[in-house]
Structure 1
Amino acid sequence: MTTSKQFFDELLHQITVYETQEAKEIVFWLLEHELGLKKIDILSNRPINSTKSIDWDSIVKRLNNHEPIQYILGETTFYGRRFLVDDSVLIPRPETEELVDYVCEWEKKTNRIESEKKVIDIGTGSGCIAISLAKELSNAQVWAYDISEKALVTAQKNADLNQAANVSFEKVDILQYLSNGAQSKLRFDIIVSNPPYVTKQEAAQMRSNVLNFEPHLALFVEDNDPLIFYQAIANFAIQTLKEDGLVIVEINESLGEETAGVFSRAGFSETEVIKDLHQKNRFVRAAFLKR
């Protein structure tokens, strides 16, 4: 009978395109998802039942083709919750969890954590930010926009999966929203976004598991207009944010001050570039001191 450690080592040996430590983490994740084996089960070298019902060769082939493990399994975790993912949505990153952290801490500092609030997530993708805020903030009603119908289908599945009935999804192209004469009647307490911000010239520096599999619609902007989404978000926010509200967006780390400048020029009197835990420019916060 095969033991858990033997099977782990066998799979690890077959995955050749990742560094050893990353490959180990992938195999740990794979065995937990497919066989229910925790890391302690694997390391304790327990006997395991037959694994023949799973097409391991296909999984290994996809991994060695640089397909992300999250797409192979069809799910990932974000802020302690399970989220479905497919190639219509970006895979949520751990760094983006810090955006949710910031909003929750800001609400506590302003003594509004229990108050009713309206939140909007622009470019919601999998819905991970919108749904996490809907679950973490008491009495929050959350709206989530995206241009991709397929992404919105996935996001709605994630809202159902996480029992986030207080999230409403809508197909909206934020780049065309105001130019089409649309005006939101809603006024928001919090506006968040993780929009496309990678320039096409930066694509050469990206890993193939991102470049070849994740949706380019959600990743890239033109080299000659890298802040186009932030301009649209700022214009939307200046019309819809409440006087004591918060805007926070994830950014291209090389364009921190430039992104903050977009919000300053739009009319926000308070802007700040925020670093993540790795001390990289990760977010821009904008607010009104006076309106």
Structure 2
Amino acid sequence: MNNLYSEAVRRLSTVCSQGEARAMVRILLEDTFGVGMNDVYADKVRQFSADELCEFRTMLQRLENGEPVQYVTGKAQFGELMLRVNPGVLIPRPETLELAQWAAAECKAGARILDMGTGSGCMAVFLAMNVENARVTAIDISESALETAKSNATLYKTDINFRRADMLKPETLPHEKYDLVISNPPYVCDSEKVEMERNVLEHEPATALFVDDEQPLVFYEAIARHAAASLVPGGRLMVEINRRFPEETAQVLRRNGFVETEMRKDTEGNPRMIKVIRK
């Protein structure tokens, strides 16, 4: 096993740093084959079968081709959750977890929650599990994403109402009343693609990531309008944002009648999430 581990790290080190290579091989071994690194270092790992070796080498080749390790294993960590993911959904990011944790702390028992653009269902499932008796509705334009989100809800035995809807088409949106509306919408400008990693550009769903440079806040406009109509007085709207447009995004929310703007930074020190309250 030590030889297999060393070979894998050596191969991946040709396409990424050695630290990243070690991390990816560790995830591969732990998440797919149940092999811990302590056993690898102590050379106490059982022998892989021929089928397991074939699967391991196939997965290694996918990593060498730049595919994200989460898609290769089909799993992504989100706090204490291990979610199912695939190329039809974004890989959940740490800053999205920070937003979900903040939102959970804002909610009272029995909160009615709408997750707009649920993707893998990461925030919807997290909130259903961390807010007592939460009543969660989650929407997405993608049928593929909704299927993935439903599988994650089933995995963690959470009761979530999933609906297909387009944030930019108000007639498709649910019109119930909510205590919290939360969203991590597409917000990366097309011009920012030059700053992004190749594995993101080539493998993650562009429709969940990018917006036209001419309309960078188009989704926030739509979310704010719907939240203004759907939230009860005192209800919260919480969104993840592009670090380039923190004040512009806040202005969009305030124009739609929201007050008490609170902005938080991510672990990198960038403005990344906003909470506002409906009057």
> Which residue of 217, 236, 241 maps to 1:227?
217
Aligned: 1:14 with 2:8 = no
Q: 1: distance between equivalents of 2:83 and 2:89? A: 11
- Residue 98 (structure 2) pairs with residue 98 (structure 1): yes
1:44 and 2:38 correspond:
no
Secondary structure, aligned partner of 1:66: coil
* CA contact 2:264–2:273 (8 Å) conserved in 1: yes
Of residues 233, 246, 252 in structure 2, which corresponds to 1:256? 246
Q: Counterparts of 1:273 and 1:185 in 2: how far apart (Å)?
A: 27
Aligned residue for 1:59, secondary structure, equals helix
SS of corresponding position for 2:216: coil
Q: 1:30 aligns with which of 28, 31, 37?
A: 28
- 1:127 alignment partner, one of 117, 121, 125: 121
TM-score (norm 2): 0.95
Which residue in the other structure is 1:88 paired with? 88
Quick check: 57-66 or 229-238, which moved more? 57-66
- Structure 1's consecutive aligned runs of 4 or more residues displaced over 3 angstroms after TM superposition are 182-185
Give the Cα separation in 2 of the matches to 1:141 and 1:222: 34
Give the C-alpha shift of residue 104 in structure 1: 2.2
Q: Is the 8 A contact 2:63 2:69 kept in 1?
A: yes
* SS of residue matched to 2:158: coil
Q: For residues 202-213 of structure 1, what are the structure 2 equivalents within 5 Å?
A: 202-213=192-203
Q: 1:58 to 1:245 in 2, by over 3 A?
A: same
> Which residue of the partner structure matches residue 167 of structure 2?
174
In 2, the alpha carbon distance for the partners of 1:61 and 1:183 equals 42
Residue 218 of structure 1, CA deviation = 0.2
2:188 to 198, 204, 209: 198
Deviations 1:174-232 (A, max 9, x none): 1011xx4x674411111100000000010111101100000001000000000000000
- Per-residue CA deviation, residues 148-173 of structure 1 (Å, 9 max, x unaligned), is 011111111111111112x1100000
> Which runs of 5 or more structure 2 residues have no equivalent in the other structure?
none
Question: Is the 2:166–2:173 contact (alpha carbons within 8 Å) kept by the matching residues of 1?
Answer: no
**Given the superposition, is the C-alpha separation of residues 133 and 101 from structure 1 closer, same or farther in structure 2, using an over 3 Å criterion?**
same
Confirm or deny that 1:271 pairs with 2:261: yes
**2:233 corresponds to:** 243
Is the CA contact (8 Å cut-off) linking 1:130 and 1:142 kept in structure 2? yes
Q: Is the 8 A contact 1:246 1:287 kept in 2?
A: yes
Per-residue deviation, 1:51: 4.3
Q: Please, what is the CA RMSD of the aligned residues?
A: 1.4
CA shift, 1:254, in A, is 1.0
Residue type at the aligned position of 2:125: I
Residues 145, 43 of structure 1: alpha-carbon distance in 2 compared, 3 angstrom cutoff: same
In terms of mean alpha carbon deviation, does 91-100 or 220-229 score higher? 91-100
Count of residue pairs the alignment pairs up: 276
Counterpart secondary structure, 1:226: coil
Tell me how far apart the structure 1 counterparts of residues 87 and 45 of structure 2 sit (CA, whole Å): 35
SS in 1 for 2:258: coil
8 Å CA contact retained: 1:6, 1:45: no
Distance 1:184 1:68, change over 3 A: closer
Q: Please tell me whether the aligned partners of residues 121 and 143 of structure 1 are also in contact (alpha carbons under 8 angstroms).
A: yes
1:118 aligns with 2:112: yes
Equivalents in 2 of 1:243, 1:38: separation in Å?
50
Do the aligned partners of residues 47 and 130 (structure 1) sit closer, same or farther apart at CA in structure 2, a change above 3 Å counting? Answer: closer
Match of 2:43, SS state, is coil
Change (3 A) 1:151 1:183: closer
Of residues 52-61 and 64-73 in structure 1, the stretch that sits farther from structure 2 once superposed is 52-61
Task: Give the share of equivalent positions with the same residue, in percent.
Answer: 38
Instruction: Name the aligned partner's letter for residue 190 of structure 1.
Output: L
Q: Show structure 1 runs of 5+ residues with no match.
A: none
| CA distances 1:63-98 after superposition (whole Å, capped 9, x unpaired) | 111100111111112121121111110001122110
